[in-house]
């Protein structure tokens, strides 16, 4: 009888071990995929980076945000020249920069702090791109119907971020600093 108890105990231990391994495999699958796409975003060729940006945005990857912001900054500095631009930045960014911007927007709320910080970039081209991105990451809390209201919308978003107790202290402080710097000009 003690032999059969030992066998039952051994088999049940193996069974529990297999269940734990399968569960760990399913749980780790998303992390492994995310890590794969992060590497492709950082080191891949243009097509790899586009696919990686799209997949990471579908996954709402918070870990992709700093890489996407850095890549978007590099694209803005490389592709946008001169001083007189009308219309959306996408027409100047090219295919890669446009995909990076779209990925940040799709990730949404977690990209708020990175967008705010990049919005205060020393180079106007990066600030312009991120200034255009912020209302798409965080929609305007009040009414805004036209291009003329874009500055009002920016101020409303920043005030909401500054005053919202649910936001992180970093987001609140960065929004406050941007508002304190003022003035805001219409795009």
Residue 154: both structure tokens together: 């920016």
Rounded Cα gap, residues 45 and 167, in angstroms: 36
pLDDT at position 138: 82
Could you state, in order of their start, the residue ranges of all structural domains in the chain? Answer: 2-138
pLDDT at position 186: 42
pLDDT tens across 27-73, in order? 677 888 999 999 999 999 999 999 999 999 999 999 999 999 999 88
Residue ranges in the chain assigned as alpha helix (H) = 2-43, 46-58, 65-79, 90-107, 112-119, 124-137, 150-163, 169-181
Rounded Cα gap, residues 43 and 83, in angstroms: 31
Nearest partner of 118 among 174, 156, 80, 159, judged by Cα = 174
Rounded Cα gap, residues 43 and 55, in angstroms: 15
pTM for the whole structure: 0.73
Number of other residues whose CB lies within 10 A of the CB of residue 184: 16
Instruction: For residue 176, report the phi and psi dihedrals to the nearest 5 degrees.
Output: -60, -45
pLDDT tens across 102-143, in order? 999 999 989 988 888 888 888 888 888 887 888 888 877 766
Residue 64: both structure tokens together: 């992709």
Cβ distance 65 to 42 under 8 Å? no
């Amino acid at each position: 009888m003690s032999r059969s108890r030992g066998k039952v105990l051994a088999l049940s231990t193996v069974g529990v071990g297999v269940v734990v391994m399968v569960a760990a495999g399913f749980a780790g699958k998303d992390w492994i995929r995310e890590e794969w796409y992060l590497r492709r975003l950082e080191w891949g060729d243009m097509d790899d980076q586009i696919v990686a940006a799209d997949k990471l945005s579908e996954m709402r990857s918070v870990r992709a945000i700093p890489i996407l912001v850095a890549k978007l900054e590099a694209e803005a500095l490389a592709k946008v020249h001169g001083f007189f631009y009308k219309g959306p930045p996408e027409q100047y960014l090219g295919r890669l920069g446009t995909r990076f911007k779209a990925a940040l927007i799709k990730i949404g709320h977690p990209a708020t702090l990175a967008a705010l910080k990049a919005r205060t970039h020393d180079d106007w081209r990066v600030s312009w791109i991120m200034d255009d991105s912020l209302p798409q990451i965080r929609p305007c809390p009040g009414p805004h119907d036209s291009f003329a209201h874009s500055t009002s919308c920016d101020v409303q978003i920043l005030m909401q971020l500054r005053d919202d107790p649910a936001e992180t202290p970093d987001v609140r402080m960065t929004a406050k600093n941007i508002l304190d710097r003022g003035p805001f000009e219409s795009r």
